[in-house]
Amino acid sequence: MVAADVSREQVLEWLGQIPDPEIPVVSIAELGIVRDVEVNDGVTVALAPTYSGCPATEVIEQSVISSLRAHGIDAEIRRVLSPAWTTDWISDAGRKKLKAYGIAPPAASSKRDLLAGTRVVHCPRCGSAETECVSEFGSTACKAAYRCTACLEPFEYFKCI
């Protein structure tokens, strides 16, 4: 298949099936890191890393190349650094999947809340706001370790960036 035989919507659909390597319950599209798809003489996929040092960036780029090659498409990746990715770009479906997986989705907080340490993180298991930060660093740099003081379950919080 050549680029002329594929639509932008089809490529976006395929990209929506690629899981994030660190949180496989959500796709790279649901995380909002797929910034654009151009279909002209070829296919170019614009991806925004979640942060500049994310170790999954190259794995994600290779996953996109491999997935599109499996569909007979040779694609180029364009890494987009500006505007910088933000957790605001995570889709509603992505947030629901994070919560169902046991990761508290990023709270809508102002920078003032983040700096003052007043963010409220709800437990993804019982919904309680009675939670405490155990460590600002979870299993990946984009998550923090929390504990619910109501149900006593540990969980991770996807940091608001």
Q: pLDDT tier at 83 (50, 70, 90 boundaries)?
A: very high
In this model, does residue 26 exceed pLDDT 80?
Answer: yes
Residue 52: per-residue pLDDT:
80
Asked if 138 and 122 touch (Cβ cutoff 8 Å), the reply is no
What's the number of domains the chain is made of?
A: 2
**Domain identity same for 25 and 67:** yes
Q: Is position 95 within any domain?
A: no
Mean pLDDT of 31-43: 95
- pLDDT, mean of residues 115-135: 88
Q: Tokens standing for 68?
A: 């599109």
Domain boundary among 63, 88, 113: 88
pTM for the model: 0.86
Residues 58 and 9 in one domain: yes
Domain boundary among 27, 54, 88: 88
> End of a domain among 56, 88, 120?
88
Distances (CA, A) of 130 to 107, 109, 116, 148, 151: 15, 17, 18, 6, 9
**What mean pLDDT value characterizes the chain?**
91
The residue range of the domain holding 20 is 3-88
What pLDDT does 100 receive? 96
Q: Is there a single domain that holds both residue 67 and residue 33?
A: yes
